[in-house]
Structure formats: C-alpha cells, structure tokens
Amino acid sequence: MPKLLILSKEADEFQRLIEAAGLPGLETFTASDPKEALANGKDCEILYGEAWLMRDVIPQLPKLAWVHSMSAGVERLLDPALRRDYVLTNSRGVFGELMREYVVGYLLAHERRIFERLKAQHERRWDRSPVGRLRGRTLGILGVGSIGGEIARTAKHFGMKVHGYTRSSETSPDVDLYFHGEALLDFARGCDYLVSVLPNTPETRHIVDAAFLEALPAHAVFINIGRGSAVDESALIRALETDQLAGAVLDVFEQEPLPAEHPFWSTPNLLMTFHTSAMSSPPDLAPAFMENYKRFVRGEKLNYVVDFERGY
Amino acid sequence: MPKLLILSKEADEFQRLIEAAGLPGLETFTASDPKEALANGKDCEILYGEAWLMRDVIPQLPKLAWVHSMSAGVERLLDPALRRDYVLTNSRGVFGELMREYVVGYLLAHERRIFERLKAQHERRWDRSPVGRLRGRTLGILGVGSIGGEIARTAKHFGMKVHGYTRSSETSPDVDLYFHGEALLDFARGCDYLVSVLPNTPETRHIVDAAFLEALPAHAVFINIGRGSAVDESALIRALETDQLAGAVLDVFEQEPLPAEHPFWSTPNLLMTFHTSAMSSPPDLAPAFMENYKRFVRGEKLNYVVDFERGY
C-alpha cells in the first residue's frame, strides 16, 4: 500500500480532497513543516507539496519514488548537489488559466486607461481621451509551454498577433510566428506587449537585459509572470526611467518578498503584484496529482515530468 | 448619380475613406454642422453621420431615402413627431468588439484587485490577499443583440456562465440560459456580474430600479454600457451606499456629460468612464456604410435597419 506524505501549509485540506476521491490503496500523512514531515512520513514513497518545504526533506526519505510539486517552479529541487533518484512532476494546466486572466487584465488596464480614467473621475473631469484595443496588437511570449499556450489562445480570441520565443519547441497552434536562439532581439523588436513565462534556469538568467529592453519598441509594455531571475532589474529600471519602455507589470522578482528599500516600489510606469498571478487553491491543484497517482499505481508514464537537466 | 451628405465632426476623414474605396457613381458632400449641411447637401438622397447632428437636418432634405447613423444609439431620430419616410440604418458589428474588451477589462480589474494592488504598492506592502477569477462566475447580459452576443462569446472563452435577458429573441449560441418578460428579477438573482447593453426605449427606461438592484446578489458588480436611461440613478446610489451591491462601472448616464455636481462622481464603489466604451474611429465605421451603399445601389435589403417602433 503506497504511502503519501503531504507537506504543505494547506496539507489538511489536500488530505480531505484526496481522501474524498477514494484513491485505491493510498495511505496519507500530513505535515506542515519539515520536522513534522520526518516524524510522520519518513517511509513514504510519494511526496506531494510545496517545493521550498520539500527540499530539506527529500534527502532523508529512503523509499522515495515520486515527488509532485504543487507549484510549476521547481528550481529549489534542481540543485545538482541534490539527489535525483526519483521522478519529479510539477503542477501544470491550472496556472495557464489564471495567468491568462492576469495578462489580459493588465493589457486591458493599459489599453483602456483604467487608472487614468479613475484619476479623471476624482477630478470630476469628463475625459474622452482616446482608448486603445487589443485587436491587431502583437503579443510576444517568452517561453511557450502550457502556460504560454493558454495565453496565446486567449490573445488570438481578442484578435492579437502572437509571437513566441522558445529554445526549439513549437507546440502551440496559436502562435503565429516562432523565434529561437539568436533571433531574440528580432523577436523583441516586433512586440507591442511582451510576457515572460520563463522558468528559472541558467539559460534564462537575465535574458531580459539592457540590449533586449533596447530592442523593444518604446510603446511596449513588459509583463513578467515567470521568474524574476529572467530580468536584469537595474536595466529595467533604467529603461523605465528613460521612457525607453512604456510600462512594466511585475509579479515576480529576484528576491521575494521584495525588500522594502528596492527601487521597484516607486519606479515610474511600473505596476507590481506579489507573486499572485497564479494564486491557486487546493481544489485547483489536487486533481492533477490524483490523475498522476492513478498513473503511478498502474505503472504508467506520469504527466508533467520535470527534466532535471533542462529544469522544466 | 446618388448624392451622399456626410455630417460629422470627422466628415473629411470619412470622405477620404469613402472616396478611396471608389464606390460606383457616388457623389459626396461634407459638413460638420447642420447649417453647413443644408448649404452643401440639401438635395442628397443619402445622409451619413452623427445622430445628434442629423436630427435637425433630416426634416429639411426633400430627396432623403436613406440615413445611416455612425452610432448604434439612434434614439434622437425616433421621436414619433419626426418623419419616418426613409430607411434608417445604424452601425453594428464594430462596437461589440470594443465593448467586450471594456467589459472584460473591468471584470478583471475587479477579480484581480488591480486598484487594491496599486494601493499596496504605494504603501510598500507585499500584499498576497486572495484574488478571484472569471471561470465559473455568471455574467448576466441585459439585452442580447449583436453587442451582447460578442460579450457572451468572450465570457464563454473565459469559462463563465452566461445568462441573457431579452424581450423574446434568443439569437446568441453563447447564452446558457435566457430570461424574458416577467422573469426579470429571477434573472437578476442569478448574476455575479450584470452588463446592460440596452438601448434607450420606453420599455427599457429604469429597468434597473430599486427592486432589480435588491434582487442582485450583494457581491454583484453592475456595468452599464448601453444607455443611462435604463438605470434609476438614485436607486443605484442608494444600493452602493448601503453595500447592497459590490460595485458599479458606468459608461453612460441619464445626462451627458455628467453634471459636475452629480453624486456619481464620488459614490462609493462606483467607477466611471465617459461614454468611451466603444470609442471608434472613421476606419472602424466606414466599412459598414460602404457595404450598405453597395446594397443600396443594387436595390437590395440594407443591413442593420432600425425599426422605428421597436427603437432598435
């Protein structure tokens, strides 16, 4: 009988959902911190939880066969010094739907001048200055996996053109034009909007640097919902301060929570959210784990397996 | 050779677009006000322009056969005291695409707490309070014509449920559930969001009244992009002041521009825009006129004919 350890601040709710689903032959244990995890679940084969909590537990689980991360980002588990003798899967599918709402929300806030209209209201000013629209604009997506594909689909619904930059894959049917490798700056030059969905890997570090920001048109808006490591933060501040870029919307940062003294808090034309673009709840996340569990007991290939080398 | 009088503040741009299209046998005249119109185009058969400008000219054009309004709303031309011995068509098709962006923009501003996040940023506060999503929410649409149908289609794209209230028509395949006639309050009770796209007709006057607002759930947000006459403005202010309704977004008002002393400017949880939800430009509007012109010269039935009795 497989043993599952759920290691999460919301472990009890996950346990309730998983037990309600009546998965065949599964015994579940819960823990909200690594110490409790080792006390309760040392002989588990399956670990399900938050990557930052699991990291310290994984080396000490002798029977571990499979780890499923509640998040998409698993960089904490990829350190080459850590063991890799288990199958690592992450959560996909659920984030795209939340992130496309985030992206469209901020694109439309920009096009429809939502903040400027509120200011006009406060000033009792009947403000009929022109507004923009999404149709015909080009959205560039840095990193087109399952999340980028969802965003591309929604962009097409609104009549946008979609450009994608990937290492080599061309999986989304909603991307009109793909760019790879050396074509990075060509990709940048064609964007009205740029969204980064890139994970934190050595290849993506500071891919959005001074040269990239200079290649973006001056009317472009940059949205980062991937990882903060993809951005040279000093170069972004300079680009915004010198109007080389119309705006940025950042959900992720090199250091989180963002330190109180960081210049981003008051950089002009920068909007921020707080790693909340894909805030999801246990009912969003549990189904993907449960589907994988059924595959696990049948000995089938799991969904969403992470390649330790590629990092995603 | 048919004579067309273009009566609009943007008449010159419309003329350029129409002449560039090389419509067979058309002679065009432009005017930016009624006086100029009567001086230049008194013997026109076709009048194309802004309803509020055309109203005073129409009685004085002896050869008039067809009037095409640049706006969707034509209430100014429907007064029973005015002549009706011509075919009246209005602009449709172009507004739905702009209005769906407006609606989604404000729905997402609400769900993603865009204004609250900006406040947190100003306060240097790492604010991870939960955000919402569109999937699963019910959008009620008051008046489902071509604009309502576009909004319904986009709502389905985001996984929303769509309810529609109409007099009798059930034309949109994206409406999950239709309500008619006496079922108005049942319709209201089921809405998480309500959008009114209703024209100004005697039947729609104050359809959103105190009883309707009371039937809406307290968490609901009301968006009006139709006509201000559909709303009992005093009842709406009371509903917002007493938290009977979570919010309202108004683009249209009983009196426009909204008078400086109107309470809406500072009503709590009320956002306003300034009859800009479907701000369109000559290149957006001219194609529908030109398509209708081709039908006119071929003697075919015109698109978008307004029924003087129904008012739309």
pLDDT digits (tens, 9 = 90+) for B92-116: 888 999 999 999 999 999 999 999 9
Q: Look at residue A33 and tell me whether its pLDDT is greater than 90.
A: yes
Mutation target to probe the B interface, by most B beta carbons within 10 A, among A94, A113, A121, A272 is A121
Let me know whether A116 and A101 are in one domain.
yes
Let me know whether B115 and B204 are in one domain.
yes
Confidence of residue A24 (pLDDT cuts 50, 70, 90): confident
Let me know whether B202 and B58 are in one domain.
no
Let me know whether B134 and B235 are in one domain.
yes
What's the CA gap between A55 and A66, in Å, rounded? Answer: 13
CB contact under 8 A, B126 and A258: yes
B110 assigned to active site: no
Q: Domain for residue B305, yes or no?
A: no
Indicate the average pLDDT of chain A.
Answer: 96
Let me know whether A52 and A128 are in one domain.
no
The per-residue pLDDT for A195 is 98
CB contact under 8 A, A97 and B154: no
Q: Domain for residue A134, yes or no?
A: yes
Let me know whether B85 and B145 are in one domain.
no
Q: Domain for residue A305, yes or no?
A: no
The per-residue pLDDT for B92 is 87
Let me know whether B113 and B246 are in one domain.
yes
Number of domain units in chain B: 2
Contact B248, B271 (CB under 8 A): yes
Q: Domain for residue A55, yes or no?
A: yes
Q: Look at residue B60 and tell me whether its pLDDT is greater than 90.
A: yes
What range does the domain containing A23 cover? Answer: 3-91+285-297
Residue matched to tokens 């309810």: B163
Q: Does A80 touch chain B (CB under 8 A)?
A: no
B124 assigned to active site: no
Q: Does A241 touch chain B (CB under 8 A)?
A: no
What's the CA gap between B205 and A39, in Å, rounded? Answer: 68
- The whole-model pTM stands at 0.89
Q: Domain for residue B309, yes or no?
A: no
Catalytic pick from A116, A170, A203, A256? A256
Q: Domain for residue A196, yes or no?
A: yes
Closest by CA position to A87, among listed A249, A312, A306: A306
Counted across chains A and B, CB pairs separated by less than 8 A come out at: 104
User: Which of A106, A157, A265 comes nearest B157 by C-beta?
Assistant: A157
Q: Look at residue B215 and tell me whether its pLDDT is greater than 90.
A: yes
The per-residue pLDDT for B311 is 86
Q: Domain for residue A278, yes or no?
A: no
What residues are paired with A250 via a beta bridge? A224, A272
Let me know whether B255 and B286 are in one domain.
no
CB contact under 8 A, A105 and B109: yes
Let me know whether B263 and B118 are in one domain.
yes
Q: Domain for residue A124, yes or no?
A: yes
Let me know whether B65 and B208 are in one domain.
no
Q: pLDDT tens for residues A97-122?
A: 999 999 999 999 999 999 999 999 99
What CATH number corresponds to the domain at position A290? Answer: 3.40.50.720
A19 assigned to active site: no
Catalytic pick from B27, B170, B256, B300? B256
Q: What angle do CA A236, A98, A304 make, to 5 degrees?
A: 95
Let me know whether A137 and A213 are in one domain.
yes
Q: Does B110 touch chain A (CB under 8 A)?
A: no
Chain A residues touching B105 at Cβ < 8 A: 105, 108-109, 111-112, 114
Let me know whether B78 and B147 are in one domain.
no
The per-residue pLDDT for B105 is 98
Share of chain B above pLDDT 70, in %: 100
